[in-house]
Amino acid sequence: MKSWRFLLLLIVLMTSLPLVEAEEMVVNGMAAIVNNEVITFSQVRELVASQEKAAAQMYQGKQLEDKIKEIRQAAMRDLIDRALILQEFKKKEFSIPEYYIDDSIQKIIREEFGGDRTAFLKTLQAQGYSLTRFRKTQKDKLVVQIMRGSKVKENYVVSPVKVRSYYEKNHDVYATPEQVKLRMIVLHEGDTNNPDASKKAMAEEIRQKIAGGAEFDRMAQMYSEDSTQDSGGDWGWVERKTLNSTLSNTAFSMKAGEVSPVIALDNAYYILMVEAVKKASVKPYGEVQREIEQNLIEQEKLKAQERWLQGLRDKAYIKIL
């Protein structure tokens, strides 16, 4: 009977909490448990805030929902792994010299605040951080970094056969597609129900002027109606996929210095000029061999860290709430 009375009293107290306090309990509630340590929702929110803000500017609706879910799941994994690493550090009774932390903070002040400690402290205050809390955060970051690094060998060697095999299987990574350096003049028709015949005539007249020696970039500055007008119709180096298939087929069939005839397409008229041509190419193996070796070594290091982390996860009690 007493337990029921206690439960009833607890329910009354919970339902009588002010709305602000109730919201605060949700924000600071438990998001996960890692062994005997709690990860709170506020920790997750703090970690994802900037990423979610950026996502909101790029996505909408269902895409935004999916992206935010992905960001929060990744943050949760990071926080769980971080907790496991810090717990392992404590379990092994390791320690980190205080001057390591001092040096890391001084580096931040020097590189991000131009050596101005006062500006650094004001920024901490504005973000709701005390120096003690920030110092603890930096210590944890250093611990995680050191613990991860300690699980990686320094003498990884990748065989030449593996390097060559990677190169052969990933030619696309080291390939440069064919490109043309392009200028373009664009004239748009008026009412699409009553095409402006004078625009086509104007395009043909511009084409004749260019054929007669007029400079293409000057004609583009005077007449073109697209965003590159001020730069003389300069599109720079473009690949096939950059352009509509009709324009692409025309541009990539032309030689350097050649000007296309007037092209009628989607209620507009185009004149193209190819200034230069680059053929498709692949970087030679000797040029990228060292880069591939380093990439493969980094992959092996990440695999070693992941095996170690997975071992910590397998031995831990982890519950996502």
Identity at 279, one-letter amino acid code: K
Segment 51-78, tens digit of pLDDT: 999 999 999 999 999 999 999 999 999 9
Q: What percent of the chain has pLDDT over 70?
A: 89
Average pLDDT over residues 221-235: 93
pLDDT of residue 151: 84
pLDDT of residue 10: 31
Domains of the chain: 2-90 (no CATH), 95-150 (no CATH), 178-279 (3.10.50.40)
Q: Are 138 and 104 in contact (CB under 8 A)?
A: yes
Q: Are 90 and 144 in contact (CB under 8 A)?
A: no
- In the sheet that holds 179-188, the strands lie side by side as 234-238, 179-188, 268-278, 263-264
Secondary structure string (H, E, C) spanning 160-210: HHHHHHHHHHCHHHHEECCEEEEEEEEEECCCCCCCCHHHHHHHHHHHHHH
* E strand or H helix at 98: helix 98-112
* E strand or H helix at 274: strand 268-278
pLDDT band at 218 (very low <50, low <70, confident <90, very high): very high
Q: How far apart are CA 187 and CA 203, in angstroms?
A: 7
Pairing of the two strands 179-188 and 268-278: antiparallel
- Higher-pLDDT residue of 195 and 205 is 205
pLDDT of residue 33: 94
